[in-house]
């Protein structure tokens, strides 16, 4: 009897799951959802950092506020998952596809499939390296090269007058991802004219706190003199702080730390003196993304590149900004 009841409950759960899926954004024959809403398929990178969580939350809140039905898919850091999510969105005939590409390369085939199906694509947060820019309508996000340059400019200023060697270790973001490539370049360009500032170690920490900690532990073991840590995001910097403290050193003093993002945890560490400088990268792209989706769906022309507004923070500025920091 118990077994029969369990089977009936399982069958019911299965039915509910299927009908929830079927009812969620099913398009009628003419396109659009059953209730006439614009349907957006969004493929997110994953949940690797505080920035990513804030970005996901912002997009999930902005869609209903704009009257858009969102089909959200988490790629868990894997390009193949993003490609199959996009293919799924094409099969479901969503109105607009938006995605934040895990890496820059390898998108042409699936983007062409979306174009052939007449579904406009919006890149958000990260770029692709496709030569054919007609494969997407627009790219909304930060200038990552500028972010890296601002990080390097701060170090050059902070090092003014110092003639001895300044050894920098770099925690890079995900290999092949636009922010990792561009933040490395911007920083290297900024310090290039100062031969005493040297990047002595550079390795990926995949934008994750745990990896930032592990790689920093290795840096500390293998490199006798580390003056500066440049981390491509706050999370890796925060993981590295744990490793630095465990090694008996004082973050922000014995080793100066520069990061990118300015999420609440990063800003808290900056205000506490454990980080020295943060270059902001805003995750709040949702509202702009929804406006763009409506425009491209209506066939209106939009700018090919839309830059996000952002700033930089010193320790004093972080103290002032923290009480109002939303993410
Ligand atoms: O693409 C934006 C970057 O991705 C953020 O700086 C980082 O924290 C995230 O994981």
Q: Is the CB of 49 under 6 A from ligand 1?
A: yes
Task: Tell me the C-alpha to C-alpha distance, in Å, between residue 230 and each of 33, 72, 147, 183, 257.
Answer: 46, 33, 12, 10, 6
Portion of the chain with pLDDT greater than 70, in percent: 90
How buried is residue 166: exposed, middle or buried, by Cβ count under 10 Å (0-12/13-18/19+)? buried
pLDDT number for residue 197:
98
Which of 43, 46, 47, 52 has the most ligand 1 atoms within 8 A of CB, as the residue to mutate? 52
Mutate to test the pocket of ligand 1, among 125, 173, 267 (most ligand atoms within 8 A of CB): 173
Cα 242 to middle of ligand 1, angstroms: 20
Looking at residue 30, what is its pLDDT? 41
- Please give the pLDDT value at position 22: 30
Q: Is 281 in the pocket of ligand 1 (CB under 6 A)?
A: yes
* Per-residue pLDDT at 71: 98
Whether residue 29 is predicted with pLDDT greater than 60 in this model: the reply is no
pLDDT the model gives residue 28: 42
The response to whether residue 233 sits with its C-beta less than 6 Å from ligand 1 reads yes
What's the confidence (pLDDT) of residue 75?
98
Question: What is the whole-number distance in angstroms between the Cα of residue 82 and the centre of ligand 1?
Answer: 17
pTM to 2 decimal places: 0.90
Distance 233 CA to ligand 1 centre (A): 7
Average pLDDT over the chain reads 91
Q: What spacing in Å lies between the alpha carbon of 51 and ligand 1's midpoint?
A: 6
Evaluate if residue 19 carries a pLDDT over 70.
no
pLDDT computed for residue 35 by the predictor: 78
pLDDT in tens, 210-237: 999 999 999 999 999 999 999 999 999 9
Going from the Cα of 52 to the center of ligand 1, the distance in angstroms, rounded, reads: 6
Q: Is the CB of 125 under 6 A from ligand 1?
A: yes
Could you give the angle at the alpha carbon of 128 between the alpha carbons of 87 and 205, nearest 5°? 100
Instruction: Give the whole-angstrom CA distance, residue 54 versus residue 52.
Output: 5
Q: Is the dihedral of CA 282, 286, 287, 290 positive or negative?
A: positive
How do residues 89-112 score in pLDDT, each as one tens digit? Answer: 999 999 999 999 999 999 999 999
> What pLDDT digit, counting tens, does each position of 201-210 carry?
999 999 999 9
Q: Look at residue 254 in the predicted model and tell me its pLDDT.
A: 98
Q: What's residue 33's pLDDT?
A: 67
pLDDT tens profile 116-158: 999 999 999 999 999 999 999 999 999 999 999 999 999 999 9
Q: Judge if the beta carbon of residue 126 lies within 6 A of ligand 1.
A: yes
Residue of minimum CA distance from atom 3 in ligand 1 = 179
Which atom of ligand 1 is closest in space to residue 178's alpha carbon?
1
Confidence (pLDDT) at 293: 98
Task: Calculate how far, in angstroms, residue 126's C-alpha sits from the geometric centre of ligand 1.
Answer: 9
- Span 170-196, average pLDDT: 98
Q: In what order do the strands lie in the sheet with 197-204?
A: 197-204, 166-172, 228-231, 256-261, 277-280, 312-313
d(CA 122, CA 135): 9
- The response to whether residue 260 sits with its C-beta less than 6 Å from ligand 1 reads yes
Q: 34 C-alpha to center of ligand 1: Å? A: 35
Cα–ligand 1 centroid distance for 249 (angstroms) = 27
- Residue 100 CA, closest ligand 1 atom number: 1
pLDDT digits (tens, 9 = 90+) for 265-313: 999 999 999 999 999 999 999 999 999 999 999 999 999 999 999 999 9
Q: How confident is the model at residue 32 (pLDDT cuts 50, 70, 90)?
A: low
């Amino acid at each position: 009897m118990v077994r029969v009841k369990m089977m009936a409950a399982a069958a019911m759960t299965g039915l509910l799951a299927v009908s929830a899926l079927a009812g969620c954004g099913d398009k009628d024959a003419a396109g659009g959802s059953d209730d006439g809403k614009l349907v957006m398929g969004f493929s997110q990178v994953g949940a690797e950092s505080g920035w990513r969580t804030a970005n996901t939350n912002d997009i999930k809140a902005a869609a209903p506020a704009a009257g858009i039905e969102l089909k959200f898919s988490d790629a868990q850091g894997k390009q193949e998952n993003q490609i199959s999510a996009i293919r799924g969105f094409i099969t479901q005939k969503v109105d607009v596809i938006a995605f934040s590409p895990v890496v820059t390369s390898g998108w042409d085939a699936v983007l062409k499939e979306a174009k052939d199906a007449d579904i406009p694509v919006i890149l958000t947060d990260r770029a692709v390296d496709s030569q054919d820019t007609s494969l997407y309508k627009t790219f909304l996000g930060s200038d990552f090269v500028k972010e890296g340059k601002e990080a390097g400019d701060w170090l050059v200023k902070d090092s003014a007058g110092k003639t001895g060697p300044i050894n920098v270790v770099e925690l890079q973001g995900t290999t092949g991802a636009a922010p990792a490539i561009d933040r490395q370049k911007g920083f290297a360009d900024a310090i290039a004219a100062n031969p005493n500032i040297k990047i002595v170690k550079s390795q990926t920490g995949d934008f994750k706190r745990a990896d930032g900690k592990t790689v920093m532990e290795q840096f500390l073991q293998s490199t006798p003199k580390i003056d500066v840590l440049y981390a491509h995001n706050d999370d890796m910097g925060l993981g590295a702080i744990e490793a630095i403290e465990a090694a008996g050193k004082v973050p922000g003093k014995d080793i100066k730390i520069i990061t990118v993002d300015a999420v609440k945890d990063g800003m808290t560490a900056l205000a506490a003196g454990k980080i020295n400088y943060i270059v902001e990268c805003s995750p709040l792209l949702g509202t702009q993304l929804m406006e763009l989706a409506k425009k491209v769906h209506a066939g209106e022309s939009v700018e090919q590149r839309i830059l996000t507004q952002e700033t930089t923070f010193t320790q004093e500025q972080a103290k002032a900004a923290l009480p109002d920091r939303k993410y």
